[in-house]
Chains A and B, each alone.
Chain A
Amino acid sequence: MLMISPRMASGMQEKQYTPSLLNFFVYNPTFGQKEGEEEKKILFYHPSDVEKNEKIRNVGLCEAIVQFTRTFCPTKPAKSLHTQKNRQFFFEPEDNFWIVMVVRNPMIEKPNKDGKPPTVEYQEEEIIDTVYGAVVKQCYSMYKLFNGTFGRQMEAGGVELLIQKLEKFFYRYLQTLHLQSCDLLDVFGGISFFPLDKMTYLKIQSFVNRVEESLSLIKYTAFLYNDQLIWSGLEQDDMRILYKYLTTSLFPRHSEPELAGRDSPLRPEVAGNLLHYGRFLTGPTNLKDPEAKFRFPKIFVSTEDGYEELHLIVYKAMSAAACFMISASVELTRDFCEQLDGLVGPQLTLLASDICEQFTVNRRISGPEKEPQFKFIYFNHMNLAEKSTIHMRKTASVCLTSVHPDLMKILGDINCDFARVDEDEEIIVKAMTDYWVVGKKSDQRELYVILNQKNANLIEVNEEVKRLCATQFNNIFFLD
C-alpha cells in the first residue's frame, strides 16, 4: 500500500509528491539467531505483502547499521539513515525490540518530452529527523497505551500473542498516520490547555472529587473542554498520549453526531431523557438498549512499580468531556453505567454551560479578534502546554496548517538547533517568501513566530516579537 498524494497534478506540469510511508516493521534481533530462522526476528512488517526474503533483507540491513554505528557511540545508537530515496528511523523502545519506519522522501516528477519517462528529483533535505523520529515514538506510545509493553505480551502469551497484538494494532493505526502533515507539533506532543478562571476551575475540581468519592471505583479522572485539557489525574506522560488519542482519534469520530440536527439519524437516541446531554463516547451508545454491551477500551498507564490496566470511560456533555478510569480487574455493569450516567450527566451538563458562559464572557472582554500580523507556536517542556495559531483544527484525517510547508520546515530546523544546546537562544530567519521567522528559547519554553512583514528590518522584527511576548505571555517568565 503505497500512499502517494500528488500535491499538484495538472497536465504537463511538475508533479510533487509528499513524504509517504514505505515500510514499518518491528523486530527483535535476539529471536531466530540460527541461520535460516531469520524470519522469526520479524514481529510485524508493513506492508505485509512484501516477499519474505526482502523482509529479511531489510531487517538484516537495519540490524547491521545499528550494530555498526554502535561501535562509534555505544550509548547513542543510530537514530536515522538518510538515503537519496528514503529515510529510515530506528527506535529501540524496549531492550532488543526495534521499531523501524521507512519514509520515502518527497519528490518532484518532471515530465520529459518525447514520451521519455519523467525525471524524478528526490528532495532529501525536506524531511526533518526530529519530526519523524517523534512519530515513531508516538506509534510506540500509542501501542503501549492500549496494549502495554512488548515485554508484557511476551510474558502473557509469548511471541505469538505479541505478533497478534502488533498486527491488530498497527494494521489500523498505520492507516491513520498522515506523514505529509507531520510537523513541529509532533515533536512537542504537547497538550492544549483550556484557559479558565480560578473559580470555574475549582468547581471542576470539586466535581471531579465528588464523582470520584461517590463512585469509588474510579481511580483517575481527566476533564476536557473543547478538546482542550483542564484537569488530569493521570501523570503527565500518560496524559500526553491519552490526550493525543482523544483529540486526534476519539473526539473527531464523535463530533459529527453533535453537529447534526436534532432529527438527524446520526444523533444518538436521547430516549426521553432531556434532563442532561451526557452520553458515553466509549462503551454503550444507548443505555436503554437491552442489548447494550458494557465493554470499554482498556488502557495501560504507568504506576510507581510498573503499569496498571484500566477501563477507559469517556463521557461527554456538550463540549465538556470527562474521562473516568477504572481498574480493569473490575467488571463494569449496566448498574454502574446507569449510576454514572445519572450522577455525572446533569452535573457535567451544568458545568459545560458554566464554562461556555465564562468563555464567551472572556471573549467579549478581550474584544473581537483582529487578524494578527503574526502566527505563533508556543511550547513549554515543563507542563507540555502547547499553543498554536498556525494550526487550524485537528481532525482524524488531516492537520491543517495555515502557512506554507517551507515555513514549517524552518520552524523544525530552528527546533533542532535549540535541541543541540541547553542555553537560552534566539534565532531570527528571513525566509525566501519575505516572511520573518523567529525562534526563542527561554529556559524550558520555546516560541516560534512567523511574521508577515515584508519590509521590516531585523530591529523591527525583534521589537515586534518583544511586543508579542509582552501581550500574549505577560504572565510567565520569558527572557527577552
Chain B
Amino acid sequence: MSEDREERPLDREERPPDREEHYLDREEHYLDREEHYLELCENPVQFENASSVNNVFFDEANKQVFAVRSGGATGVVVKGPDDKSSVAFRMDDRGEVKCIKFSIGNKILAVQRTLKSVDFINFIPDYPHTEFTQECKTKNASVLGFCWTSWNELVFITDQGIEFYQVLPDKRSLKQLKSQSINVNWYQFCPETAVLLLSTTVQGNVLQPFAFKVRAGSGTMSKMSKFEIELPVVPKPAKLSLSERDIAMATIYGQMFVMYLKHHSRTNSPTAEVVLYHLPREGVCKKTHVLKLNTTGKFALNIVDNLVVVHHQSSQTSLIFDIKLKEPDCAVNTHQPVLPARSIHPYRIPLAGPAVVPSQPPIPCQLYSSSWSVFQPDIIISASEGYLWYLQVKLPPTVNLLQDKGKLMDFLLRRRECKMVILSVCSQSGEKGRLPIVATVFDKLNQVYKEYLEAEQSYTAAVESGPSRGSAAPKRPVRTQAVVDQSDMYTHVLSPFTERKGVSHKFIIAVLMEYIRSLNQFQITVQHFLYELVIKTLVQHGRFYMLHQFLQYHVLSDSKPLACLLLSLESTYAPAHQLSLDMLKRLSTANDEIVEVLLSKQQVLGALRFIRSVGGHDNVSSRKFLDAARQTGDQMLFYTVFRSFQQRNQRLRGSPGFNPGEHCEEHVVHFKQLFGDQALIKPSTV
C-alpha cells in the first residue's frame, strides 16, 4: 500500500483456478444482484497497461498514473482523475525510472533514477526545461523515495533520515529547509494530511510521524510523538517484523488513523484483525478500534465514505466496518463487519475505441486479481489491464442485508449519498414494517434533522449578532444528505404512502401520527402540509371524531391555514366550524377572519360584540356589517347595527354621518325608507 511502486500485487499466488470463476458466475445468478454493496466506478481512468517496455507508476498525492515508455524517451503519459491533470510529454532516457511524481499543480516533475539523487524538470511555462539534480546530503545514505508537500517543496526519505527541500525553479537548484537523522526501514505518506510516517528500530514497529504544513509560502516540518505498534509475536533475535504492506494511513470521520493489519498468530487471536491507531495532530497516538475480520489470509484495505473496507483475496469478498457503529455485544471499540461479506459487484470492461462491435458483450473483469494494487483511500489499480478505479459503496443493497432497521438507519445516516436510500427505507417500513420500527427510524432521522436545525439556528443567531471579538466568523453548517426534512418525508414517503392501496387507513394514520410524535419529541415545529395530510387522510376515511380529538388536544398546532382548512370542512362535519373559530381565537392575530366567519353565518351582532371586545371596533368597515345586517332581512337587527355605527361616527368624528369613503349611502337610504328620517341620529348642534 505504499505509493508509486510498480504493480503491487495483492497476492503473490497464481490466479485462482477457473473452477472458481464458474462458481462465481453461478453465484451471480442465484444471489440477488442487489447484494453487492461495493462496486467499481463506471468510468475508470484508463492507461496503457504495464509491459516490458511500459512502466506504470501511481502518485497518491495527485492521483496520477504515469505510463513511462522506454524510460520516457518514447513518451510519458500522465492520466489524472480529470482531463485537466492529464499530461503527455517526453524526456530523455537516463536510466531506469524508480519513482516519478509531479509537484502539486503539475509545476515541477521529480524523477528518481538512482539511490543517491532525484532529478527535476520545470513544467512552469517560460522557465528553462533542462533537468537539474539534487543529491541527498547524508553521506552513504540511499534515497528510499520522496514526497511533494506543496508546489515547490518536497521531502527525501533516506534510510538514514529525511531531508526537506525547497525547489527554486528559476535557479534550477534546491534549498534545504530542514533535516532529521533517524534510521528508516520504510515510510508511508498521507497526502491528505501531509503526514509522513517512518518505520524505525530493528523490528520496525516504532513509527515516527512528521507533519508538514504550508504556511505563508514556506513549509514547516514538525516531529509528532512516536508510537509503537503492538506486534503479535516478538521475534528473537530481533528482526524487521512490521511490513509496510500491513500499515496504511487514512482519514476517517475527519480523524487521522494508522491502520494496522494484524495477522493471526498461533499464540493469541485465531483470526486476523485490523487495529486502528488514532493519530491526533497534537498528543499521543492511541489504539482506539479493533476490527474483527473473523478469517485469515491476504487482505487489502480501502476507505470509502468513512467506512473501512477490507478485501479478502482468497474468498474474493470484502467486508465493511463503520467505526461509529456501536456493537452492543462487543467490548467497546471492537467492531464486527456491518454486513455479511460480499464480493464487489461484477464488473465488465467496456470495449472502447473504434473497434467496438455492438453485438460484442463487454468482457467480465477479473475481480480481486493478483495484479490489483490497492491505494488509499479508495483506489484500485490493475496495472496489467490499464485501469484505475475508484471503489464505491452502493447503499441500496444494504437495506436488505441489515435486518436491524435501527442499526441500518445509524449506518445510512452517516453515508454521503444516503438520502434516497433512507427515504426508501422509510417507505418500506411504512409498507411492511411494524410501528416500533417505524418509530425508531423516524426518531433517528429527526435526531439528525434537529441537530442540523439547531446548528443553522445558532449560525443565524451568530450572524445577526455580528462578529464578536476573539471568535472566528461563524461557519454555515453543512447540510448533508442525512438531513431529511419534513418536505422530503412528505414528498417521498408520507404522501405516496397515504395513497397506497391495500394499506389500512388505521395504519396510515398511525404512521403519520408517529412521525408527528417524533418531530414533537425533538421539538421540531411541524409544518402545515403534514397536518393537511393528516386531515386529508382522516376526512377521506370519515374519521372525523378522531380529527376532533386531535384538535382538542392541540396535536395539530394552530395556524391560519389550518383554521381555513377546517372551515372548508364544515359542510361535511359541522363541528369543524367551532374548531376553526377556536383556533382563530387562540391565534389572536386573526380577528378579521373571525369577523368574516361570523358575518358569513349572519351572526352580525356576534361579530359586532366580538370586534368590540377585542378593541377593533373603531377600524372595521361599517359597510361590511351593514351589508350583512341587511342581508338577514331582520329590520331590527339592521336598525341596531346602523345606530351603533352612527354612534361610532359621533364618537370618532363628532358627527353621526358616514364618510363618502365608507360607501354607506345606499344603507342610509334604506334606513330612511324603513324607519324614517327622524330615526337617524342628528348631528348635535353646537
Using a CB–CB distance below 8 Å, which chain A residues touch chain B? 193, 196, 198-199, 201-203, 205-206, 209-210, 212-214, 230-233, 235-236, 380, 382-383, 385, 424, 443-445, 475-477, 479-480
Contact = CB atoms under 8 A, between A and B. Distances in A.
Contacts, number: 83
B584 A213 contact: no
A478 to B, nearest CB: 8
B552 interface: yes
B435 A210 contact: yes
A166 B549 CA distance: 35
B545 A477 contact: no
B324 interface: no
B549 A202 contact: no
Nearest to A202: B517
B613 interface: yes
Contacts of A382: 548, 574-575, 578-579
A477 B582 contact: yes
Interface stretch (B91-99, B418-426, B506-514, B623-631): B506-514
B558 to A, nearest CB: 9
Contacts of A196: 553
Contact of B517 (A203, A230, A232, A479): A203
Interface string B417-458: 000000000000000001110010000000000000000000
B610 interface: yes
Q: Is the interface of A mostly helix, strand, loop or mixed?
A: mixed
A209 B510 contact: yes
Nearest to B580: A477
B520 interface: yes
B513 A202 contact: yes
Interface in B542-580: 545-546, 548-549, 552-555, 574-575, 577-579
Contacts of B516: 202
B521 A209 contact: no
Nearest to B542: A304
B585 A476 contact: yes
Nearest to A205: B513
B609 interface: yes
B545 A443 contact: no
16 contacts: A202-B516, A202-B521, A205-B517, A205-B555, A206-B517, A209-B510, A210-B435, A214-B434, A236-B545, A382-B574, A383-B552, A383-B575, A443-B581, A445-B578, A475-B582, A480-B613
Contacts of B609: 479-480
Q: Is the interface of B mostly helix, strand, loop or mixed?
A: helix
B176 to A, nearest CB: 67
B594 interface: yes
Given A232-B545, A475-B582, A213 B507 contact: yes
B514 A198 contact: no
B554 A198 contact: yes
A57 to B, nearest CB: 45
Q: What's the interface size class on B, roughly?
A: 35 or more
Given A202-B516, A445-B578, 20 more contacts: A198-B554, A202-B513, A202-B520, A202-B521, A202-B555, A203-B517, A205-B517, A205-B555, A206-B439, A206-B514, A206-B517, A210-B435, A212-B506, A232-B545, A382-B548, A424-B603, A444-B575, A444-B578, A475-B585, A477-B578
B595 to A, nearest CB: 12
The 3 closest A-B pairs by CB, nearest first: A209-B510, A202-B517, A382-B575
B33 interface: no
B586 interface: yes
A289 to B, nearest CB: 31
B606 A424 contact: yes
A480 B617 CA distance: 15
Contacts of B434: 213-214
A231 B513 CA distance: 14
Contacts of B610: 479-480
A198 B613 contact: no
A477 B585 contact: yes
Interface string B581-612: 11011100000001000000001001001100
Contacts of A209: 435, 506, 510, 513-514
A382 B520 CA distance: 27
B172 to A, nearest CB: 74
B556 to A, nearest CB: 10
B581 A199 contact: no
A84 B675 CA distance: 50
A479 B595 CA distance: 12
Contacts of A198: 520, 553-555
A193 B553 CA distance: 10
A206 B513 contact: yes
B537 to A, nearest CB: 14
A210 B436 contact: yes
B437 to A, nearest CB: 11
Nearest to B613: A480
B336 to A, nearest CB: 30
Nearest to A233: B546
A232 B549 contact: yes
A306 to B, nearest CB: 16
A255 B272 CA distance: 65
Contact of B555 (A201, A444, A480): A201
A439 B296 CA distance: 87
